[in-house]
Amino acid sequence: MEIEARNLDKKDFLGKSDPFLEFFRQGDGKWHLVYRSEVIKNNLNPTWKRFSVSVQHFCGGDPSTPIQVRCSDYDSDGSHDLIGTFHTSLAQLQAVPAEFECIHPEKQQKKKSYKNSGTICVKICQVETEYSFLDYVMGGCQINFTVGVDFTGSNGDPSSPDSLHYLSPTGVNEYLTALWSVGTVVQDYDSDKLFPAFGFGAQVPPDWQVSHEFALNFNPSNPYCAGIQGIVDAYRQALPQVRLYGPTNFAPIINHVARFAAQAAHQGTASQYFVLLLLTDGAVTDVEATREAVVRASNLPMSVIIVGVGGADFEAMEQLDADGGPLHTRSGQAAARDIVQFVPYRQFQNAPREALAQTVLAEVPTQLVSYFRAQGWAPLKPLPPSAKGPAQAPRA
């Protein structure tokens, strides 16, 4: 909704009014506040910022529910003065352009010549469907899952028991446990269960050049592994054949997946989303290039999950997971949205496997929905109304 006002009453002795709006919904015989606008200082003809609020919260899902709108003059001590009020409903607000007289009840009673205390004009009022993660997945969106494994020297010599790549007598290590925990959850959303899997930071046969995106199965034209088990098998076979080296560069593998995501975005439909799972011991070298890659990828249908293996300092990883505000490149370009989720594996080592998977994948549904919503793309196949019940449940 976008709202403006004209000719509001002047309430302040020295200046004009500092108006703000409040919307109340009627329910249980009471008025419940559902939205409060920002204050616009010293202005009798304000235009407030466009805002969104869920229909359920605004009017309980019923367009005829009575709504009270109050326009008040802000005072810093909290004793806001009423400018005027009116009653309406979502159905009336939608009849744009809609105009409502702002009435101050006391003034109306005192003065016979009183007309109003200003006019409120609804410029835009649109009800848009908000799709959930499940709506997109059930509608046919493919989630493409790619894995990148860190083969840099800082992991330690794989033949030594204190290396993160050391395979215990039972054939496991932290990398494989993390891969299993997360992969088994994600693979359910991937219909063909074929996952491209890459290593980075190792010298690779036959010429022993350092590679930052080599296929774990050593087949660059077909790096796909069948299921999580296929990735595990390829990893176990690759480990003795490569030499752990460095540096730890994330950008090449992020850019690799971004190229596929860019092709999918060109289709202009909510048909594909890409998730890159990076398993690393955390000592990233190309911090700037990685930031650039993440900021570029934030405009594409993709998310990056980084699982930190081992006990290193993961501060650089925490910065990429921009929970404190948008990630910026050195030149000042900001990420369109937060697409990185970082999880230190050691915190979950003794927790049930579901706990790690849940934390790792906590942000992907929101990231997927936020991307498709920003593009204005609905699910490919809208669900029939009968199937909508559980799909809308917040559990999703």
Burial of 304 (0-12, 13-18, 19+ CB in 10 A): buried
Residue 305 β-bridge partners: 277, 341
Asked if residue 353 and residue 238 are part of one domain, the reply reads: yes
* pLDDT value of residue 71: 97
pLDDT band at 274 (very low <50, low <70, confident <90, very high): very high
**Per-residue pLDDT reduced to its tens digit, 101-129:** 999 999 999 988 999 999 999 999 999 88
* pLDDT value of residue 390: 42
Tokens, residue 75: 């005072």
Asked if residue 110 and residue 25 are part of one domain, the reply reads: yes
**Residue 389 forms part of a structural domain:** no
The CA–CA distances, whole Å, from 354 to 199, 333, 349 equal: 25, 36, 11
Domain of residue 13, residue span: 2-124
| Whole-angstrom distance, CA of residue 212 vs CA of residue 201 | 5
| Whole-angstrom distance, CA of residue 289 vs CA of residue 304 | 15
**Per-residue pLDDT reduced to its tens digit, 50-70:** 999 999 999 999 999 999 999
Among candidates 230, 234, 190, which has minimal Cα distance to 361?
190
DSSP helix/strand/coil, 263: helix
The CA–CA distances, whole Å, from 387 to 139, 368, 391, 393 equal: 11, 21, 7, 12
**Model confidence, pTM:** 0.76
Asked if residue 151 and residue 113 are part of one domain, the reply reads: no
Asked if residue 155 and residue 265 are part of one domain, the reply reads: yes
CATH number at residue 26: 2.60.40.150
- Indicate left, alpha or beta for 42 from its phi (over 0: left) and psi (-120 to 50: alpha): left
Asked if residue 181 and residue 83 are part of one domain, the reply reads: no
Residue at a domain's end among 124, 152, 168: 124
**Residue 385 forms part of a structural domain:** no
**Per-residue pLDDT reduced to its tens digit, 324-367:** 678 888 888 999 999 999 888 888 888 887 888 788 888 899 99
Please give the share of the chain, as a percent, with pLDDT higher than 90: 71
**Residue 392 forms part of a structural domain:** no
Asked if residue 42 and residue 186 are part of one domain, the reply reads: no
Asked if residue 243 and residue 152 are part of one domain, the reply reads: yes
Asked if residue 225 and residue 103 are part of one domain, the reply reads: no
Pairing of strands 98-101, 119-124: antiparallel
Asked if residue 228 and residue 142 are part of one domain, the reply reads: yes
**Residue 388 forms part of a structural domain:** no
Total number of domains in the chain: 2
Residue at a domain's end among 74, 91, 124: 124
Q: How many CB atoms lie within 10 A of CB 177?
A: 16
Mean pLDDT of 229-257: 95
CATH number at residue 179: 3.40.50.410
**Residue 191 forms part of a structural domain:** yes
**Residue 390 forms part of a structural domain:** no
Asked if residue 74 and residue 177 are part of one domain, the reply reads: no
H or E segment at 100? strand 98-101
Asked if residue 221 and residue 338 are part of one domain, the reply reads: yes
Asked if residue 137 and residue 120 are part of one domain, the reply reads: no
Tokens, residue 8: 């509001």
**Residue 75 forms part of a structural domain:** yes
**Per-residue pLDDT reduced to its tens digit, 294-324:** 999 999 999 999 999 988 778 777 777 776 6
Nearest-5° angle of CA 211, CA 213, CA 218? Answer: 85
**Residue 67 forms part of a structural domain:** yes
Mean pLDDT across the chain: 90
Residue at a domain's end among 66, 91, 124: 124
DSSP helix/strand/coil, 214: strand
